[in-house]
Structure 1
Amino acid sequence: MNSAIAESRPAIPAAEERVGKYDWTALASDLDDYGCAVLEKLLTQEECRDLAALYPREEHFRSHIHMARHGFGRGEYRYFRYPLPDLLGGLRTALYPRLAPVANQWNKRMGIDTQYPDSHADFIKACHDAGQVRPTPLLLQYVPGDFNCLHQDLYGDLAFPLQVAILLSEPGEDFTGGEFVLTEQRPRMQSRAEVVPLRQGDAVAFAVHNRPVQGSKGNYRVNLRHGVSRVRSGKRHTVGIIFHDAR
């Protein structure tokens, strides 16, 4: 991989150790059952504050999006540029191989031929070979009245079917409202909503687009979207780890 876009390597061993402490069998089961799974206390309070403090520092970012201009809701976010901050790059690299087996199993159950490589470096190379070269990890900021419409983070033909969001602010202290929400559209049935309670430093892994559900006649696909409910007070920061890059 080009050294100019490679994720920072020193943080990877620490990130792998941190990520490896979770019960990934239980997390995979939650992903299968609900389309999401919570990794409690993935980041410390200090790490959360440090990441949130990057928001006004434009040198870390490649673009700045105001949601209202695009009909995405209200609020704003910035896409990081390469190289990613050590902590973020390390977590992106360490989380991917834990989620790839779930992604591969899902595709097999849904009859999708695509299988994902074991390492994130190999997957990113495939993205870049396909012309998807812009980094997608992002830092989001919400103030009172802001919200994020239900959406899917798809940026090109190659898309990894799981992503991770980490709450950097403390509910009830830094902000109120602003719950993370998933909706699941099921064929010939009413949609199902899932509100995911998070504390500062908690991460949620969740389906980007589709996931399989076992029915009486085999597996069928459900379509998922995610968003954030209206922030009532304070300021809310979240970092999003998307594993594919964008065109």
Structure 2
Amino acid sequence: MSARTEYLAGPGGHFADRVASADWAGVTEEVNEYGCALLPTLLTPDECAELAARYDDEGQFRSTINMARYRFGEGEYRYFDTPFPEPVRLLREALYPRLLPIARDWYRKLGREPEWPDTLAEWLETCHRAGQRRPTPILLRYRAGDWNALHRDLYGDKVFPLQVVINLNDPGTDHTGGEFLLVEQRPRAQSRGTSVLIPQGRGLVFTTRDRPVRSARGWSAAPMRHGVSVLRSGERHTLGLVFHDAT
């Protein structure tokens, strides 16, 4: 049975099991400290290859973005249209409730009212009522010389403060370079940068917009942006899972 047949035929419980296998207390601690944390393997090599191969099937996507055209960097990415491939849908559904306690804790520390319900379906319905109806899961493709400028994935007023990226290629074998970059603007201090070379199939959870950091006056919001360093050789595909839809 192929990897694709397996996840299309089965109930998808193995994706939820992979998400559940993370040390979520440790993930929470790392995200609170650094704004990002590695997750365990969420996709097998065969599943990674099958998803990456979808990039050339334009019919599965609602739009294609040329990063150079918009001065976002160099390279290209595509937004999935519905219905999503099963791994995209099931991983998004399994990750949301695991990230929800972190999101609610952050907003309470910042004196904001958490507005996210218990399920992703309810939250997306809230986005849709606010006019954010376009799906946001992304498949990105980088080739030698490509890079992604520092940015934040904000598509409207409704924002979930965490998102996940999964590397579909094997660093050191399929590509060199292409480190994930995260830069935090610290209150009354120099910015702090973090770089991560994400292993194939593993996820990285990171801050969408800002996160709470301790200050002399309590908690302050530290703005954060993310990007990708220059790919020096090869090809790198990544799956981006954003938990709010777009206007």
Instruction: Report the CA distance between 1:11 and its aligned residue.
Output: 4.7
- The corresponding residue for 1:107 is 107
RMSD after superposition? 1.4
Instruction: Report the CA distance between 1:9 and its aligned residue.
Output: 11
- The corresponding residue for 1:3 is none
1:12 & 1:125 partners in 2: Cα distance? 23
1:237 aligns with 2:241: no
Q: Deviations over 1:183-208 (max 9, x none)?
A: 00012100000001211111100000
2:84 & 2:14 partners in 1: Cα distance? 16
Worse overlay, 208-217 or 178-187 = 208-217
Worse overlay, 125-134 or 14-23 = 14-23
1:245 & 1:9 partners in 2: Cα distance? 27
Q: Deviations over 1:199-232 (max 9, x none)?
A: 1111100000010012343111101000000001
- The corresponding residue for 2:149 is 149
1:127 & 1:14 partners in 2: Cα distance? 28
Instruction: Report the CA distance between 1:74 and its aligned residue.
Output: 0.3
Alpha-carbon contact 1:184-1:224 (below 8 Å) kept: yes
2:9 & 2:91 partners in 1: Cα distance? 11
1:105 & 1:246 partners in 2: Cα distance? 24
Instruction: Report the CA distance between 1:155 and its aligned residue.
Output: 0.3
- The corresponding residue for 1:204 is 204
- The corresponding residue for 2:24 is 24
The total of aligned residue pairs comes to 240
Instruction: Report the CA distance between 1:97 and its aligned residue.
Output: 0.3
Secondary structure at the aligned position of 1:134 is classed as coil
Could you say if the C-alpha distance between residues 230 and 115 of structure 1 is closer, same or farther in structure 2, counting changes exceeding 3 Å?
A: same
1:75 & 1:67 partners in 2: Cα distance? 6
Alpha-carbon contact 1:136-1:246 (below 8 Å) kept: yes
1:203 & 1:196 partners in 2: Cα distance? 11
Task: Determine what percentage of the aligned residue pairs are the same residue.
Answer: 50
Could you say if the C-alpha distance between residues 131 and 12 of structure 1 is closer, same or farther in structure 2, counting changes exceeding 3 Å?
A: farther
TM-score normalised according to structure 1 size? 0.94
1:193 aligns with 2:225: no
Q: Structure 1: which 5+ runs fail to align?
A: 1-7
Q: Within 5 Å, which residues of 2 pair with 1:57-72?
A: 57-72=57-72
Could you say if the C-alpha distance between residues 9 and 246 of structure 1 is closer, same or farther in structure 2, counting changes exceeding 3 Å?
A: farther
- The corresponding residue for 1:179 is 179
1:115 & 1:156 partners in 2: Cα distance? 15
Opposite residue 68 of structure 2, the aligned amino acid is A
Instruction: Report the CA distance between 1:89 and its aligned residue.
Output: 0.2
- The corresponding residue for 1:165 is 165
Instruction: Report the CA distance between 1:103 and its aligned residue.
Output: 0.3
- The corresponding residue for 1:139 is 139
Secondary structure at the aligned position of 1:188 is classed as coil
- The corresponding residue for 1:117 is 117
1:86 aligns with 2:86: yes
1:75 & 1:85 partners in 2: Cα distance? 23
Alpha-carbon contact 2:165-2:241 (below 8 Å) kept: yes
Q: Which consecutive aligned stretches of 4+ in structure 1 deviate over 4 angstroms post-superposition?
A: 8-12
Instruction: Report the CA distance between 1:112 and its aligned residue.
Output: 1.0
Alpha-carbon contact 1:104-1:114 (below 8 Å) kept: yes
Q: Deviations over 1:172-191 (max 9, x none)?
A: 11111110000000121000
1:38 aligns with 2:38: yes
Alpha-carbon contact 1:179-1:196 (below 8 Å) kept: yes
